[in-house]
């Protein structure tokens, strides 16, 4: 137990002493809030010219998370840097020499990073909701409305899982450039293409980001044919994340530093 405590302290020191990891979390917060408020402000001014169908489908809670699409970019970078920085600098050899139990080493790293991201993600999600609703004015939703609290908490969980999934991929690939070179196109290009092309839409809806974002929806979308609900979508995202983390543990255990 004493060893685990020491490793946890060591990993916390690593994270807070590297400026790039701290800055990425700050960027995630600022981008999510700023873009969310901007989109909510535009939606408030545009609401009067919307068609009747669009007004029925208007989701004031979900629209306050509009900035999360770019905010998750910073979370991806954070997740990759937390794991792969030690490989790029060569520090991984010293770390594994100090902590030969590789499962303990990676578990402590993930535990510290996940706790930090969960706190930041939850704070960002609640702040984005309240700031967005203030920008929406009379169109706003309230935290006590049905399913709104679930969506806000889900926003924090979504950001946490995005970072955790990225950590698992980085643990498998061990290179920050390779990890980012795969994750960025995957989330910002491939996922959008598969989700918006009719021939591949049924595949795209099971990708981690598209499934996970379901938790932040309160008002069902028009002609929504997705076969799972908010928690089902989050469950799919959890499955992707667990698979990535298992892969990371296997690679760390079987490969040399």
What is the per-residue pLDDT across 191-247, written as a single tens digit (0 to 9) for each?
Answer: 888 887 877 888 888 999 999 999 999 988 766 778 899 999 999 999 999 999 999
Put residue 189 in one of left, alpha, beta given phi > 0 → left and psi -120 to 50 → alpha.
Answer: alpha
- The domain of 189 spans 2-254
Q: What is the pLDDT of residue 223?
A: 66
Helix axes 102-136, 148-173, angle to 10 degrees: 140
Phi and psi at residue 43, to the nearest 5°: -65, -40
Q: What is the pLDDT of residue 246?
A: 95
**Mean pLDDT, the chain cut into blocks of 10 residues (257 residues total):** 79 82 90 95 87 84 92 93 83 80 88 94 96 93 94 96 95 91 89 82 89 92 80 96 94 77
Strands, E, within 97-143: which ranges?
none
Give burial (CB, 10 Å; 0-12/13-18/19+) of 104: middle
Q: What is the pLDDT of residue 1?
A: 62
Phi and psi at residue 256, to the nearest 5°: -75, 160
| 67's tokens | 């900035």
- Rounded to two decimals, the pTM is 0.92
- Torsion sign (Cα): 7, 9, 14, 15: positive
Number of structural domains found in the chain: 1
């Amino acid at each position: 137990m004493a060893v685990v405590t020491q490793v946890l302290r060591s990993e916390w020191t690593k994270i807070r002493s590297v400026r790039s990891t701290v800055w990425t979390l700050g960027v995630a917060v600022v981008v999510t809030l700023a873009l969310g408020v901007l989109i909510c402000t535009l939606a408030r001014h545009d609401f009067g010219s919307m068609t009747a169908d669009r007004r029925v489908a208007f989701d004031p809670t979900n629209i306050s998370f509009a900035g999360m699409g770019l905010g998750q970019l910073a979370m991806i970078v954070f997740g990759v840097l937390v794991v792969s920085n030690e490989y790029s600098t060569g520090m991984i050899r010293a770390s594994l020499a100090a902590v030969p139990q590789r499962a303990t080493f990676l578990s402590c790293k993930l535990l510290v990073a996940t706790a930090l991201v969960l706190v930041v993600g939850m704070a960002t999600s609640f702040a984005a909701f309240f700031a967005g609703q203030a920008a929406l004015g009379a169109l706003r939703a309230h935290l006590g409305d049905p399913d709104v609290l679930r969506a806000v908490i889900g926003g924090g969980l979504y950001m946490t899982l995005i970072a955790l999934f990225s950590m698992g991929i980085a643990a498998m690939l061990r290179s920050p450039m390779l990890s980012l070179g795969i994750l960025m196109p995957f989330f910002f290009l491939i996922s959008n293409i598969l989700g918006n092309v009719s021939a591949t839409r049924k595949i795209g809806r099971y990708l981690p980001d598209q499934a996970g974002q379901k938790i932040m929806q309160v008002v069902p979308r028009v002609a929504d044919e997705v076969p799972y609900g908010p928690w089902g979508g989050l469950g799919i995202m959890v499955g992707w994340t667990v698979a990535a983390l298992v892969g990371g543990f296997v690679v760390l255990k079987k490969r040399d530093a």
